[in-house]
Amino acid sequence: MGVFRLTQCPWNFVDHRTVQLMRYVRLAERHLPVDGGLLDQASSFVEAMDWIEIERGRWKSELGIR
């Protein structure tokens, strides 16, 4: 695992829209925004859910979290 030096708060790199999206995905894990299942969701939202899940998996793998 590489090493890097933080010179400022990591939250400075996360914009409000990204935080909102992550919140929506977390909530959608319990209940999707539109009734009817995954196929009834907007394709951009499904892509975002997929991207966030991939990133979670990558970080868990890098950090050794199961």
Encode pLDDT of 10-49 as tens digits. 888 889 998 888 888 888 888 877 777 777 888 888 898 8
Number of domains in the chain: 1
Question: Is position 6 within any domain?
Answer: no
Ramachandran category for residue 37: left, alpha or beta (phi over 0 → left; psi -120 to 50 → alpha)? left
Check residues 65 and 32 and name the one with the higher pLDDT: 65
Question: Is position 21 within any domain?
Answer: yes
The per-residue pLDDT for 41 is: 82
Question: Is position 19 within any domain?
Answer: yes
> Is 62 in contact with 1 (CB distance < 8 Å)?
yes
Question: Is position 41 within any domain?
Answer: yes
CA distance 52 to 58: 10
Question: Is position 3 within any domain?
Answer: no
Task: Quote the domain boundaries for residue 23.
Answer: 14-63
Question: Is position 5 within any domain?
Answer: no
